[in-house]
């Protein structure tokens, strides 16, 4: 199926999509963190390399919630047939950037957690348990 918008209009629409505050992902995890009384985090840390969605500064834990489309989830990605080459390159570039960000943060002593959008939506308790476990491990290793 071809796009119903012109290239310029589609570009404008896609450019207006922002990488934070996505109701189906970050907000959902934010609500879960609060309801499980997990504190000490802040959101959309622009001062940390890669701009993690959630940061626990004291423990040096960075959490990213990766959208299935934008970050190339193998189970849920759906590359548009219109301008397929562009979208394939865009998503592959995002995946390379994600790996580079993770590598650099880890090199600088950060623990990096990445969740897929579908994990936060379908199994939020598993995400919370993983965060708790990692925070506990980091805290215990500081002693």
Residue with tokens 């570009």: 11
Q: In the chain, what are the domain boundaries?
A: 18-134
Q: Evaluate whether 118 touches 75 at the Cβ level (below 8 Å).
A: yes
Give SS3 for 123: coil
Q: What is the pLDDT of residues 46-57, one digit of tens each?
A: 999 999 999 999
Of the listed ranges 15-24, 104-113, 123-132, the one predicted with least confidence: 15-24
At 21 the pLDDT is 45
Q: 62-72 pLDDT, tens per residue?
A: 999 999 988 99
12 falls in which pLDDT band (50, 70, 90)?
confident
Backbone angles phi, psi at 7, to 5 degrees: -60, -40
CATH class of the domain defined by 18-134:
alpha beta
60: closest CA among 126, 143, 125, 142?
142
pLDDT digits (tens, 9 = 90+) for 57-114: 999 999 999 999 889 998 887 888 888 899 999 999 999 999 999 999 999 999 999 9
Alpha carbon distance 99, 134 (integer Å): 20
Q: Give residue 70's pLDDT.
A: 87
Can you state the angle between helices 124-142 and 26-35, rounded to 10 degrees? 60
Phi and psi at residue 39, in whole multiples of 5°? -120, 180
Mean pLDDT, rounded, for 1-24 = 65
For residue 98, give every residue at least 6 positions away whose Cβ sits within 8 Å of its Cβ, in sequence order, or none: 64, 66, 71, 114
47 CB contacts (<8 Å, ≥6 apart)?
A: none
Whether 24 has a pLDDT exceeding 80, the answer reads no
pTM over 0.85: no
CA distances from 113 to 14, 29, 52, 96 (A): 26, 13, 10, 16
């Amino acid at each position: 199926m071809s796009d119903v918008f012109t290239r310029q209009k589609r570009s404008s629409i896609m450019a207006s999509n922002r990488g934070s505050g996505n109701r189906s992902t970050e907000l959902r995890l934010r609500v879960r963190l609060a309801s499980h009384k997990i504190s000490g985090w802040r959101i959309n840390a622009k001062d940390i390399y890669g701009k993690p969605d959630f940061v626990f500064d004291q423990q040096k834990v960075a959490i990213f919630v990766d959208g299935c489309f934008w970050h190339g989830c193998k189970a849920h990605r759906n590359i548009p047939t219109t301008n397929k080459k562009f979208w394939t390159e865009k998503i592959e570039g995002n995946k390379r950037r994600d790996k580079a960000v993770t590598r650099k943060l880890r090199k600088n002593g950060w623990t990096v957690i990445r969740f897929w959008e579908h994990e936060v939506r379908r199994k939020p308790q598993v995400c919370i348990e993983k965060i708790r476990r990692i925070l506990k491990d980091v805290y215990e290793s500081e002693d």
